């Protein structure tokens, strides 16, 4: 089911791109006309990784600083947070968890602009937000989110494209379904050969590829019971370097953009220290181990990168004798306070 749902992501994205066009445009106009002193994201798990991608786009393209809200400040501490001139963005597959719903309701009641990109448009989160827009991923059966994560990234990019009123980014989004289908055909079997017997792995990204590293690390844990830690390439030498030993596996996402050169250099250095590096990079990088698909613009590359990863991850789980659709101790909807 995980593999089937991952392979359906392109069709889900095509449906999303054909839907809610006026609503996104209206939201873009609202965001352009409103002055924000604070911008926050509110999410858990894979959705939090999607929020990290959204935050990166907002900061890089619009110059607004975005922070991730520790939800317990609202749900448990009952802290008197200032809500005026605030933009609060939540992303969720189910829209059910109280610790996501309550902060959105809190900020909306305080006059903030609240946005929910949510798969279940009848969920409590959708009803709590002023601006609720469906992901259009359809029902997702596998516990491991795939198509809902990809549609979350696309929805975030659509919001930013309309906010910025950027025709190039909008055009790049329209080309995504074909790019996603191409991504499913990339051969990442060398990763399965190395990781099927592995006990741990470090997943590395930087800049716009870091949210993909976070998501990949989570999927390794939940679908393959593989101890995985995700780090920014800039953080490796601040302590994680001590973990590196002969044969230690590293998956490095070197997507296009200003951070790519440093990640390629890191891959070479880690190989020199004996690590078993799986360098995922575009086809023009000769030293790559895995080919990263590319989108119409580098800012959309993480979306097709995670698509290629998901196909491999589902096959890796099977190779390790596990069921990626029903990870132990996990359920599809998680509710925390």
Strands 38-42 and 66-68: parallel
Q: Which of 139, 315, 332, 335 is catalytic?
A: 332
* Phi and psi, residue 34, nearest 5°: -115, 135
Q: Concatenated DSSP letters for 173-225?
A: HHTHHHHHHHHTT---HHHHHHHTT-SEEEEEE-GGGHHHHHHHHHHHHHHH-
Q: Is 4 noted as a catalytic residue in this protein?
A: no
Partners of 118 in the β-ladder = 92, 134
The per-residue DSSP string of 267-336 comes to HHHHHHTT-EEEEEE-TT-TT-SEEPP--SSGGGHHHHHHHHHHHHHHHHHHHTT--TTS-TT--SS---
Contact 87, 40 (CB under 8 A): yes
Residue 291 CA to residue 280 CA, distance in Å, equals 6
Angle at 201 between CA 199 and CA 207, to 5 degrees: 165
Tally of residues, the chain: 337
As a dihedral over the C-alpha atoms of residue 185, residue 17, residue 127, residue 110, rounded to 10 degrees, the angle is: 100
Helix (H) or strand (E) holding 68: strand 66-68
Provide the annotated active-site residues.
332
């Amino acid at each position: 089911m995980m593999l089937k749902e991952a392979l359906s992501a392109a069709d889900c994205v095509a449906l999303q791109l054909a839907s809610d066009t006026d609503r996104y445009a209206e939201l873009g106009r609202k965001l352009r006309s409103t002055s924000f002193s604070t911008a926050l994201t509110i999410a858990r798990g894979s959705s939090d990784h999607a929020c990290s991608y959204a935050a990166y786009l907002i900061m890089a393209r619009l110059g607004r600083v975005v922070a991730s809200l520790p939800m317990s400040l609202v749900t448990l501490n009952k802290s008197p947070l200032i809500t005026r001139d605030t933009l609060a963005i939540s992303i969720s597959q189910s829209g059910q968890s109280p610790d996501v719903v309550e902060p959105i309701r809190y900020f909306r009641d305080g006059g903030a602009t609240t946005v929910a990109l949510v798969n279940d448009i009848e969920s409590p989160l959708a009803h709590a937000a002023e601006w609720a827009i469906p992901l259009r991923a359809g029902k997702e059966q596998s516990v491991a989110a795939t198509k809902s994560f990809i549609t979350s990234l696309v929805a975030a990019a659509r919001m930013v494209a309309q906010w910025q009123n950027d025709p190039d980014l909008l055009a790049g989004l329209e080309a995504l379904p074909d790019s996603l289908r191409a991504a499913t055909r990339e051969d990442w079997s060398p990763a399965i050969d190395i990781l099927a017997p592995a006990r741990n792995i470090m997943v590395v990204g930087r800049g716009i590829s870091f949210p993909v590293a976070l998501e990949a690390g989570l999927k390794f844990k939940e679908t393959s019971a593989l101890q995985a830690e995700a780090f920014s390439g800039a953080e490796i030498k601040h302590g994680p370097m001590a973990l590196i030993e002969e044969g230690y596996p590293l998956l490095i996402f070197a997507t296009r953009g200003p951070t790519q050169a440093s990640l390629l250099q890191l891959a070479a250095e880690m190989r020199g220290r004996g690590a078993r590096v799986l360098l995922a990079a575009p086809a023009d990088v000769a030293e790559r181990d895995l080919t990263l698909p590319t989108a119409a613009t580098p800012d959309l590359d993480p979306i097709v990168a995670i698509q290629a990863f998901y196909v491999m991850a589902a096959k890796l789980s099977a190779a390790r004798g596990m069921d990626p659709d029903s990870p132990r101790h996990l359920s599809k909807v998680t509710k925390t306070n």
